[in-house]
Amino acid sequence: MSFVEYGDTIKDGDTAIVFLGHESMFPIKVQHGTVTQTKYGVIRHSTDLIGKKYGSKVTCSKGGWVFILHPTPELWTMNLPHRTQILYSTDISIITMMLELKPGSIVCESGTGSGSLSHALIRTVAPTGHLYTVEFHQQRAEKAREEFREHGVEHLVTVTNQDVCKNGFGVSNIADAVFLDIPSPWEAIGHAKSALKAEGGRICSFSPCIEQVQRTCLAMEEYGFTEINTLEILLRVYNVRTISLQIPDLGKAAEDNSSTDFDSSNPSHPGSPCTNLQQGTVQFKSGVPLREVVGHTGYLTFATKS
């Protein structure tokens, strides 16, 4: 099983997604002799999962059913165990595009965190690219290595446990892009420039506070970065539902008494008085925004190494 090489059949040792609904899903590790409890009953890995095709509808012990899905970076972002705050698909998509990533790209990242963005970067640069990711916290770095190994992508990523602000990324002049998600990104701009290829590349810094953005932009200018640009991505979701509105009573049309050739006895005359609109309601489909919407996540600052 690999997050970048999709398979059809569920195998022992795979990571799979149990899908109960769009708002209810969770990851499991498939193992012989193991059972998983859901609100619809028990799923027995040996008989219900192993050997079945991904996307299969599996009936649980209580008669309810779930779908078993092959993991993707998008599904993993929604279901991963949180060791830190993570980036979600809204920000990940614009990061991937603005850094101009493609298969074969070399990317440096700090910090690794829970690996949400890391999995998306790995899938984007596969099969010939590579991700160098730096994590300051030792336990988080070790857990990230374990997850990458279990997900079949360890050959596409190198995890380093060190302080990127002091020691850099451990590589020089090889990266096409650098991503920073650390408390003081301005302290790592010099190391980011050293990691980027001599002919240039792109950098992105994610920060939740505008004061961090200001100091980072000043550091980028100091190190000669150009095309500095800061974005804030806000997601607004609409629900499509049927609503009813009352038909308004507009009253009678005003008569034009100045017209001498008006024939009030002719109901087909375009100037004849209108009768009152019949009172009632009309139903139609409408997009209604949610009462609670996802607000500010962070600022994304992009720049180019000249």
Burial (CB < 10 A; 0-12, 13-18, 19+), residue 84, is middle
121 annotated to bind ligand? no
- DSSP readout, the chain? --SSS--SB--TT-EEEEEEETTEEEEEE--TT-EEEETTEEEEIIIIITTSBTT-EEE-TTS-EEEEE---HHHHHHHS--SS----HHHHHHHHHHTT--TT-EEEEE--TTSHHHHHHHHHHTTT-EEEEEESSHHHHHHHHHHHHHTT-GGGEEEEES-HHHHTTS--S-BSEEEE-SS-GGGGHHHHHHHB-TT-EEEEEEESSHHHHHHHHHHHHHTTEEEEEEE------EEEEEEEEEPP---PPPP-TT-TT--TT-TTSTTSPPPPPPP-EEEEEEEEE-SS------EEEEEEE-
Cα 295 from chain centroid? Answer: 14
Through-space distance between the first and last CA atoms of the chain, rounded to whole angstroms: 40
- 135 has binding-site annotation: yes
Is 74 assigned a ligand-binding role in the annotation?
Answer: no
69 is in an annotated binding site: no
150 is in an annotated binding site: no
What is d(CA 86, CA 136) in angstroms, rounded to the nearest whole number? 16
- Annotated binding-site residues read 114-117, 135, 163, 181
- Annotated binding-site residues for S-adenosyl-L-methionine read 114-117, 135, 163, 181
